[in-house]
Amino acid sequence: MAYGLVTWFTGLFPGYLPKIGGLWSAISAIVVTQATSSLDPKLSPGLNALLRFAESCIGTGVAVLAVLVWPGSRRQIE
Protein backbone atom coordinates (compact mmCIF):
# COMPACT_ATOMS: atom_id res chain seq x y z
CA MET A 1 0.00 0.00 0.00
CA ALA A 2 2.83 2.41 0.87
CA TYR A 3 4.57 1.63 -2.43
CA GLY A 4 1.43 2.27 -4.47
CA LEU A 5 0.54 5.54 -2.74
CA VAL A 6 4.01 7.04 -3.03
CA THR A 7 4.46 5.85 -6.61
CA TRP A 8 1.22 7.66 -7.51
CA PHE A 9 2.14 10.78 -5.49
CA THR A 10 5.69 11.04 -6.84
CA GLY A 11 4.34 10.52 -10.36
CA LEU A 12 2.59 13.88 -10.04
CA PHE A 13 6.02 15.57 -10.21
CA PRO A 14 7.59 15.24 -13.68
CA GLY A 15 11.25 14.29 -13.78
CA TYR A 16 11.29 12.32 -10.52
CA LEU A 17 11.54 8.56 -10.11
CA PRO A 18 8.24 7.27 -8.66
CA LYS A 19 9.46 3.68 -8.30
CA ILE A 20 12.42 4.73 -6.15
CA GLY A 21 10.15 6.78 -3.88
CA GLY A 22 7.77 3.84 -3.65
CA LEU A 23 10.62 1.54 -2.72
CA TRP A 24 11.78 3.81 0.11
CA SER A 25 8.22 4.15 1.35
CA ALA A 26 7.74 0.38 1.41
CA ILE A 27 11.04 -0.09 3.25
CA SER A 28 10.00 2.52 5.83
CA ALA A 29 6.66 0.82 6.36
CA ILE A 30 8.36 -2.55 6.88
CA VAL A 31 10.94 -1.16 9.30
CA VAL A 32 8.35 0.66 11.40
CA THR A 33 6.07 -2.39 11.47
CA GLN A 34 8.87 -4.75 12.45
CA ALA A 35 10.33 -2.38 15.03
CA THR A 36 6.92 -1.91 16.65
CA SER A 37 6.11 -5.63 16.99
CA SER A 38 9.78 -6.83 17.65
CA LEU A 39 11.38 -4.27 20.07
CA ASP A 40 8.75 -2.75 22.41
CA PRO A 41 5.14 -3.87 22.20
CA LYS A 42 4.13 -1.04 24.57
CA LEU A 43 5.22 1.62 22.04
CA SER A 44 2.29 2.69 19.91
CA PRO A 45 2.68 2.37 16.13
CA GLY A 46 1.87 6.08 15.71
CA LEU A 47 4.57 7.21 18.13
CA ASN A 48 7.04 4.77 16.61
CA ALA A 49 6.32 6.12 13.12
CA LEU A 50 6.69 9.70 14.38
CA LEU A 51 10.03 8.88 15.97
CA ARG A 52 11.32 7.23 12.77
CA PHE A 53 10.12 10.24 10.75
CA ALA A 54 11.89 12.66 13.10
CA GLU A 55 15.07 10.60 12.96
CA SER A 56 14.97 10.59 9.16
CA CYS A 57 14.43 14.37 9.06
CA ILE A 58 17.33 14.96 11.43
CA GLY A 59 19.60 12.70 9.38
CA THR A 60 18.59 14.46 6.17
CA GLY A 61 19.17 17.88 7.75
CA VAL A 62 22.65 16.89 8.90
CA ALA A 63 23.47 15.57 5.43
CA VAL A 64 22.27 18.79 3.75
CA LEU A 65 24.27 20.88 6.20
CA ALA A 66 27.37 18.76 5.58
CA VAL A 67 27.02 19.20 1.81
CA LEU A 68 26.66 22.96 2.21
CA VAL A 69 29.73 23.39 4.43
CA TRP A 70 31.97 20.75 2.80
CA PRO A 71 34.81 22.43 0.85
CA GLY A 72 34.14 22.43 -2.89
CA SER A 73 30.60 21.10 -2.63
CA ARG A 74 28.92 24.37 -3.62
CA ARG A 75 30.30 24.08 -7.16
CA GLN A 76 28.41 20.81 -7.64
CA ILE A 77 25.10 22.24 -6.33
CA GLU A 78 25.16 25.45 -8.36
| Residue 8's pLDDT band (cuts 50, 70, 90) | very high
Cα distances (Å, whole numbers) of residue 38 to 20, 31, 35, 63, 73: 27, 10, 5, 29, 40
| Residue 73's pLDDT band (cuts 50, 70, 90) | low
- On the question of pLDDT at 45 being above 80, the answer is no
What pLDDT score was predicted for residue 75? 60
| Residue 76's pLDDT band (cuts 50, 70, 90) | low
Kindly report the pTM of this predicted structure.
0.54
